[in-house]
Amino acid sequence: MNNEIKNIAVIGTGVIGNGWIARFIAKGYNVTAFDLAEGAEERTRAMINRVWPSLQELGVSEHATLDNLTFATTLEEAVADADYVQENVPEREDLKKSVLQSIDASTRPGVMIGSSTSGIMPSTLQEGLQHPERLIVAHPFNPVYILPLVEIVGGEKTSEEIIQRAEALFTDISMKPLIVNKEIEGHIADRLMEALWREALHLVNDGIATTEEVDKSIIYGAGLRWAQMGPFMTFHLAGGDAGMRHMLEQFGPALKLPWTKLEAPELTEDLKEKVISGCENSAGTMTVSQLEEKRNEFLVKQLELVAEYWPEFGKKSEIGG
């Protein structure tokens, strides 16, 4: 456990907030959570119990116990003793600013504050804070308790010390911090996923492919390669012995061809129905909970493969704990 940080406050316990709670609890931290929604605590505890087998397979701390999770009745109570605060309220700029200002006013000076925002720039969120230098974007990926990537983005007023402390904290909970040195809407990973998502919607909207066919193209093609190498190294191999140099010479001109439509199609009722019915057909009789369980089992095994074949990830213990 990070010697400097022992007590975590998690504000907002939706899918992402609960994911953070599960990961911190698994790594032996004390977590105090706050959410105004009725039944939030029951949902959180049920979710952690449900995913605990996956966490155990990845590796949990000897100090990991659900007894380390408490729920507060007010935001101020939740953050009072926190060494780090993770905000996860809905993706509305006005709401996030309001909540972050309350967190800022209720925590001890120097306590790091992270926002899980997937698209808002930290400089925007720093507006109105008394201590903007301690705010970062700490953007994870679902399921947070399994996937190791977290994007750390500082704003115009974020101190370098806070970035370094955040990197140390997330490394301690077996994550792979990606420090984004220049802030931009959507950060890095979501911008890439959004481009693929927009093109996928066009393919469905234009009747070229069904949702199942789009998913199949990724599951059995690019997705398998990306899990190991990412897009650049994948294309480096596509160039043969000369690598990326030959790849760009051979396929570079194709970038001028109008293959993609990066502007999203209008989300008409017809398109929404195609997407919804397609996903429901693919799911068949499986519930979302059953799909999540299968996904988690798959991701745990996939992370073991990534660790085995991609040296940067090192041993399995460096991923799961």
Close Cβ partners of 195 (under 8 Å, ≥ 6 residues apart): 260, 262
Q: Please identify, among 142, 163, 180, the residue that sits at the C-terminal boundary of a domain.
A: 180
Pick from 139, 162, 180: which residue ends a domain? 180
Same domain? For 53 and 127 the reply is yes
Domain that holds residue 110: 7-180
138 and 22 in a single domain? The answer is: yes
Average pLDDT over every residue of 222-238: 81
Could you tell me the pLDDT band of residue 230, with boundaries at 50, 70 and 90? confident
pLDDT value at 232 more than 90:
no
Give the rounded distance of the alpha carbon of 316 from its chain centre: 20
On average, the pLDDT of the chain sits at 90
- Residue 248 in any domain: the answer is yes
Verify that 228 and 206 share a domain, yes or no.
Answer: yes
38/136 same-domain check:
yes
Quote the number of domains for the chain: 2
Question: What does the pLDDT average to over 178-207?
Answer: 94
* Model confidence pLDDT, tens digit, residues 30-69: 999 999 999 999 999 999 999 999 999 889 999 899 999 9
Residues 296/146, Cβ–Cβ less than 8 Å:
yes
Same domain flag for 45 and 145: yes
- Judgement on whether residues 104 and 250 belong to the same structural domain of the protein: no
Tokens representing 169 are: 């904290």
Instruction: Classify strands 69-71 and 84-87 as parallel, antiparallel or unpaired.
Output: unpaired
| Helix (H/G/I), strand (E/B), else coil: 47 | helix
Kindly report, residue by residue over 198-215, the tens digit of the pLDDT. Answer: 999 999 999 999 999 999
How far apart CA 150 and CA 138 sit, in angstroms, is: 6
Nearest residue to 186 (alpha-carbon basis) of 148, 231, 151: 151
**Where residue 316 falls among pLDDT bands split at 50, 70, 90?**
very low
75 with 193, same domain: the answer is: no
The answer on 127 and 17 residing in a single domain is yes
Q: Where residue 196 sits, what CATH number does that domain have?
A: 1.10.1040.10
- Cβ–Cβ under 8 Å, residues 27 and 64: yes
Question: Smallest Cα–Cα separation from 103: which of 91, 90, 86?
Answer: 86
Same domain, 218 and 166: no
Task: Identify the band that residue 321 occupies on the pLDDT scale cut at 50, 70 and 90.
Answer: very low
- Kindly report the CATH number assigned to the domain that includes residue 71: 3.40.50.720
Q: Determine the Cα–Cα distance for residues 204 and 39; give it in Å rounded to an integer.
A: 37
Whether residue 175 is found in the same domain as residue 28 = yes
Give, rounded to a whole angstrom, the gap between the first and last alpha carbons of the chain.
Answer: 11
Query: For residue 2, is pLDDT > 80?
Result: no
Determine, yes or no, domain membership for 66: yes
Nearest to 150 by CA among 122, 123, 179, 126: 179
- Whether 132 has a pLDDT exceeding 50, the answer reads yes
Residue with tokens 């992402």: 16
For 235-250, the DSSP string reads HHHHTGGGTHHHHHHH
197 and 168 co-located in one domain = no
Q: How large is the angle between the packed helices 288-309 and 223-238, nearest 10 degrees?
A: 40
Q: Given a cut of 80, is residue 296 above it in pLDDT?
A: yes
Q: Which tokens in the block code for residue 165?
A: 């402390």
Separation CA 172–CA 156 (nearest Å): 26
Same domain for 70 and 206, yes or no, is no
Rounded to a whole number of angstroms, the CA Rg of the chain reads: 21
In this prediction, residues 95-102 reach a mean pLDDT of 98
What pLDDT digit, counting tens, does each position of 269-287 carry? 998 888 788 778 877 888 8
| pLDDT, position 314 | 45
Residue 308 lies in a domain: no
